[in-house]
Amino acid sequence: MLPRPITFENSWVTCGDWRWAIQIWDASVEMDENRQAQVKATKLLQPLLDSTQAAKASNGTHSSDSAPSAHRLPVTFRAAAFALNALQHPTPKGGEGVQRMVEAREHGTGLTAKYWAFIFSLSGRALPVWPLVLYMVYSAVVTTLVILFVPNYQNLTELKALQFPIQTLGLALFLLLTFRTNSSYDRWWEGRKLWDGINSKCLDIQRMALGWVAPKDRDSASQLIRYTIAFTVAGKKYLRSEAGYEELRGILSDAELDELSSSHNIPFHVILRLTEITNTASKVLPPAVANGLDGVVRGMAQDLNSCMRIFTTPMPFAYIVHLRSFMVLWLMGLPFAFVVSLSWWNLIVCAVVGYELLGFEEIGIEIEAPFGYDYNDIPVDKITGDLFKQLANSLTALGATEAHPGPPAPPPHPSPRPTNAAAAAATSALGDATLAAAPANMAT
């Protein structure tokens, strides 16, 4: 039986009507994939949960007919809908591994002690499950057939002769894998430096807008900051092939958002708008400052274009195909080479070596395109979110807008992580009921 839908009474939501949210939260707490979404939703619902506790302590009842009090809190329909979405859809972020390393360095008693604790971590490991499972099955079949059906296999000359080429070719394979992983890391590190360059240039525009443009043309200063914010969001979404720019509502007008969304290349459109605004502002600026502002805008476009170069240019096809073919052939010969001397222990050796090599290849795959949602990617969401808040809050100094709380949670990935089926069905039904029950003045 589903909990009753939310009811709105003169723009007040009673805590009793939020029982569905608590039930859905409890139903999904067992799912590790939902952990981040639960934390986000709990922060939103915490005032309601706290007020429920206070009401129980005072009178133990929840009356929806009484006057607004400590246990009746004003909640906009947008907040209710966001909490519903956060519970139903885990929100991928990307870069969690980087954040863990930063926290370990900042809060650990020592770098070495804290980092060593990561060897027990399961999150973020390069674990190619199916290739490793298939290889383990293959190794088990080979080892079993040789031991059980090949007489005197330990003295078989052909099997002993395989050990030398396997050991010799293994060195070349390790060198190729090292080069492949280093090349991927170079791309990862270059991507991080490029995002740092974008951040620095955005802050330069903020500095120039507030210090040079605002005293003479507040409207142009406001527009510079608004479209700089739009660039940070557009750049991230363009690299991730995401759609939707709702987080810019309140920063750009509806007409500007429609124009932005209809553009074929949204970051380029933002750069054009920044160029137009810079041209207008240059009329009231000293020539050196105007040239510097234009150079910063041009540098932002170049940095984003370099990010696109990383995103659209993977490792050469021939190199990857040759490396993987070589690695597969080498791994297939490994059980034959070591079963002579290791017998059944051959299974453990093959598992360890297979995990090492396939894991190196998986690491290279994950970090060569570092702007996505993977655990070891660059934390683009956090970087752009912090910059978004800093730039948006500076608009208050210009009287352009109220302090903006920062971008809301990014939309779910096109292929969201699995969710609890019962929780998803319940929240979907409740969302429809809530939309139907919301009065017109609360549907925004």
* Residues 383, 254 share a domain: yes
Q: Is residue 50 part of a domain?
A: yes
Give the pLDDT band (50/70/90) at residue 368. Answer: very high
Q: Closest Cα partner for 23 from 41, 9, 43? A: 41
240 shares its domain with 271 = yes
What residues contact residue 201 under an 8 Å CB cut-off, 6+ apart?
A: 296, 297, 299, 300, 303
**Rounded Cα–Cα distance for residues 137 and 133 (Å):** 6
Residues 260-315: pLDDT tens digits? Answer: 988 989 999 999 999 999 999 999 999 999 999 999 999 999 999 999 999 999 99
Is 428 a member of any domain? yes
pLDDT given for residue 274 in this prediction: 96
- The token duo for 29 is 């707490």
Same domain membership, residue 257 and residue 382: yes
Cβ neighbours, 10 Å, residue 377:
22
pLDDT value at residue 141: 95
Per-residue pLDDT at 67: 37
Indicate whether 86 and 192 sit together in one domain: no
428 and 393 within one domain: no
Contacts (Cβ under 8 Å, ≥6 apart) of 153: 146, 147, 159, 339, 340
In this prediction, residues 65-92 reach a mean pLDDT of 40
DSSP calls for 37-71: HHHHHHHHHHHHHHHHHHHHHHTS---TTSPP-TT
The predicted structure's pLDDT at residue 146: 92
Evaluate whether residue 194 is within a structural domain: yes
Is the predicted pLDDT of residue 61 greater than 70, yes or no?
A: no
Provide the number of structural domains found in the chain.
Answer: 2
| 4, part of any domain | no
pLDDT of residue 432: 53
Same domain for 242 and 386, yes or no, is: yes
Residue with tokens 């970051």: 267
Task: Give pLDDT tens digits for 148-191.
Answer: 998 888 888 888 888 888 988 998 899 999 999 999 999 999 99
- Say what the pLDDT of residue 54 is: 59
Q: Do 84 and 42 share a structural domain? A: yes
Q: For residue 123, what pLDDT is reported?
A: 80
Q: In sequence order, which ranges of 33-162 are alpha helices (DSSP H)? A: 35-58, 77-88, 96-107, 111-116, 129-149, 157-161
For residues 382 and 237, state if they share a domain.
Answer: yes
Instruction: Give the residue ranges of DSSP H helices in 209-265.
Output: 218-240, 254-261
What's the pLDDT band for 427 if we cut at 50, 70, 90? very low
The reply to whether 111 falls in a domain is no
Q: What range does the domain containing 302 cover?
A: 187-314+376-397
Average model confidence (pLDDT) across the chain: 76
Tell me which of 42 and 87 has the higher pLDDT.
42
- Judge whether 182 lies within some domain: no
Instruction: Report whether pLDDT(109) > 80.
Output: no
Report in angstroms the alpha-carbon separations of 179 from 80, 174, 194, 331: 50, 9, 22, 19
Task: Tell me the residue length of the chain.
Answer: 444
116 falls within a domain: no
What is the bridge-based pairing of β-strands 13-14 and 72-73? antiparallel
- Concatenate the DSSP letters of all residues of 166-219 into one string: HHHHHHHHHHHHHHHHHHHHHHHHHHHHHHHHHHHHHHHHHHHIIIIITTT-HH
- pLDDT tens digit string along 164-175? 889 889 988 999
Please tell me which of 16-20, 69-73, 427-431 the model is most confident about, judged by mean pLDDT.
427-431
**Same domain (yes/no): 392, 419:** no
> Are 249 and 218 within one domain?
yes
State the pLDDT at residue 107: 67
**pLDDT at position 321 over 80:** yes
Looking at 48-57, 97-106, 197-206, 373-382, which range is the least confident one? Answer: 48-57
Closest CA to 212 of 294, 302, 268, 299: 294
For 229-250, b where at least 16 C-beta lie within 10 A, e where not — what string? bbbbbbbbbbbbeeeebebbee
Distances (CA, A) of 247 to 33, 165, 334, 386, 420: 24, 59, 53, 14, 27
Q: Tell me the one-letter amino acid at 410.
A: P
Q: What is the largest CA-CA distance in the chain?
A: 93
* Domain presence at residue 433: yes
The pLDDT value given to residue 244: 83
CA angle 304, 308, 311 (to 5 degrees): 140
287 and 422 assigned to the same domain: no
Give mean pLDDT, residues 332-347. 92
Of 43-47, 88-92, 308-312, 343-347, the least confident: 88-92
Q: Is the pLDDT of residue 39 over 70?
A: no
Q: What is the mean pLDDT of residues 111-128?
A: 76
What digits encode the pLDDT tens for the residues 240-265?
988 888 888 888 988 999 999 889 89
Q: Are residues 85 and 198 in the same domain?
A: no
